[in-house]
Amino acid sequence: MNIREQFPIFQHFRHINSCSHGALSLGVRKAYEDYLNDRDRYGAPWGYWVEQLEEARSLIAGLLNSPVDRIAVTSSVSAAVNGIAGTMDFSGERNRIVATDFDFPSTAQIWHAQESRGAEVIHVKQSPDGNTIPFENFIEAIDERTKLVSIPHVCYRNGAKLDVKPIIDLAHSRGAMVLLDSYQAVGTCAIDASALAPDFLVGGLQKYLLGSSGTGFMYVKDDQSSAKIPTSSGWFAQSDVHAMNIYQNEPALDARRFEAGTPNIPNLYAAIAGIKLIQSIGLDTIEAHVRELTGALKEGALQRGFKISTHLDADKHGAMIAIKSTDMDKLVAALMSENIGTSCRDGNLRVSPHIYNNMEDIEYLLNAMTKYKDLLV
């Protein structure tokens, strides 16, 4: 069975919207069935379910080239970032959070929510064309008042990919911590958290990792700056999950301290299946394939006179191409009527191919866009 045949949706629909949600594979479907069968067979096999959590943790660590004990498995990126925020004291001179114009709303909103606790939040401005953030803007924004720099690996609006290592190094040289949001990147390219060395890296399973919503993760760098104890907790965040000690909070000494209560067990099954599929294909193979598809999309769109909002340099965008629309919602609906799944943000049509897409999908999409060219700039 080839890769595309593992995703039944392509029998009737062209899903090119992995930036919103990955397509459902036969393996992930079976994983959900396995969960239900385990419920019928064993009732409540908590020991086995904890093993599922640990397998998911191990697989995530492998994806990020990280030691296992630096990975927390969370319900979402929002839960992870809220946990980080809960460790931070904004009463001193270092009370500034540096976010960006590219941040995903939940991340930025969490930082702005800290303003009531004394945080000052500023945003590093994007370039006038909106398809990058100049490094010089980070140099101007990060200073001795900066407590943490929050950066997205890939912008959710237009697919812009930041060169994150120089930003991380700059922040650290000025005494600030870094949160790297890799949700729109993980699963499309190799990410070495140990080499990049952000203080925190977050992501989730529902997009390019082909799992489902309800499972996120966080890498925590093992140093003093990340060893603080979050104010949010739960029994899975304890040093001994089975202790059931209601008289005190004894958080784990590793990244598990950022976890909470009962994990989303069905989605752990899905996460394991999704990551194993990604691993079986190989991230280098996926990245090369997606580059070929996005390259064909850019070339075809420009030939038809459409305006691309994403940087044309393949090294400066992720697995998403944004194309300017006069009515993005109407365009998405029109393409849906042609059995093509896309999405939109910020006046742009978002097209995000993955390993299961092919050149025929891209050509079919371009022909459909030409049919509705009055909805494109």
Query: 98 with 242, same domain?
Result: yes
Mean pLDDT, range 107-119, rounded to an integer: 97
Q: Kindly indicate the confidence band of residue 299, based on its pLDDT and cuts at 50, 70 and 90.
A: very high
When mean pLDDT is compared across 132-136, 222-226, 233-237, 286-290, the lowest value belongs to 222-226
Same domain as 313, residue 165: no
Sequence letter at residue 182: S
Same domain, 238 and 299: no
Q: Is 305 exposed, middle or buried (0-12, 13-18, 19+ CB in 10 A)?
A: exposed
> Alpha helices, DSSP H only, in 149-229?
164-173, 193-196
Residue 137 · residue 164 · CB < 8 Å: no
**Does 319 share its domain with 249?**
no
The alpha carbon of 319 is separated from its chain's Cα centroid by a whole number of angstroms, namely 12
Nearest Cα neighbor of 124 from 113, 135, 110 is 135
CATH number of 78's domain: 3.40.640.10
Per-residue model confidence (pLDDT) at position 223: 64
Are 345 and 257 found together in one domain? no
Average pLDDT over residues 56-64: 98
Could you tell me if 201 and 300 lie in one domain?
Answer: no
In a shared domain, residues 131 and 233:
yes
CATH number, domain with residue 330: 3.90.1150.10
Structural domain harbouring 176: 29-278
Q: Which of 257, 278, 299 is the last residue of a domain?
A: 278
Please, are residues 173 and 142 in contact by the beta-carbon 8 Å criterion? no
- 187 and 75 in a common domain: yes
Token duo for residue 157: 């609006």
Q: Are strands 321-324 and 348-351 parallel, antiparallel or unpaired?
A: antiparallel
Query: Residue holding tokens 């992930």?
Result: 28
Tokens of 40: 């019928």
Q: Is residue 264 pLDDT above 70, yes or no?
A: yes
| pLDDT confidence of residue 47 | 87
Scanning the structure block, which residue is given the tokens 């690996």?
153
Predicted TM-score (pTM) of the model is 0.95
For residue 139, the model assigns a pLDDT of 98
112 and 194 part of one domain: yes
The average pLDDT across 353-373 equals: 98
Question: How many contiguous H segments (helices) and E segments (strands) does the chain have?
Answer: 11, 12
Order across the sheet with 96-100: list the strands. 71-74, 216-220, 200-204, 177-181, 146-152, 96-100, 120-124
Look over the chain and give the mean of its residue pLDDT values, rounded to a whole number.
96
The answer to whether residue 336 scores a pLDDT higher than 70 is yes
Higher pLDDT, 222 or 335: 335
Number of domains in the chain: 2
Any bridge partners for residue 238, and if so which?
251
The alpha carbon dihedral of 283, 285, 287, 290 has a sign of negative
For residue 54 the two structure tokens come to: 């640990």
Say if residue 173 is in the same domain as residue 289.
no
* 171 vs 200: CA distance, rounded Å: 13
Beta bridge partners of 179: 150, 200
Cα three-residue angle 21-84-275, rounded to 5 degrees: 35
- pLDDT for 227 equals 62
The model's pLDDT over 152-186, given as tens digits with 9 standing for 90+, comes to 999 999 999 999 999 999 999 999 999 999 999 99
Q: Which of 278, 311, 329 is the last residue of a domain?
A: 278
What are the Cα distances from residue 88, in Å, to 83, 234, 236, 250? 9, 19, 21, 19
∠ CA 228-232-237, rounded to 5°: 75
Closest residue by Cα to residue 210 from 26, 10, 22: 22
Q: So what's the pLDDT on residue 106? A: 94
The last residue of a domain, from among 252, 278, 304: 278
Whole-number pLDDT of residue 224: 53
Are 211 and 273 in the same domain? Answer: yes
Q: List all residues 6 or more positions away from 1 whose beta carbon is below 8 Å from its beta carbon.
A: none
**Are 272 and 159 part of one and the same domain?**
yes
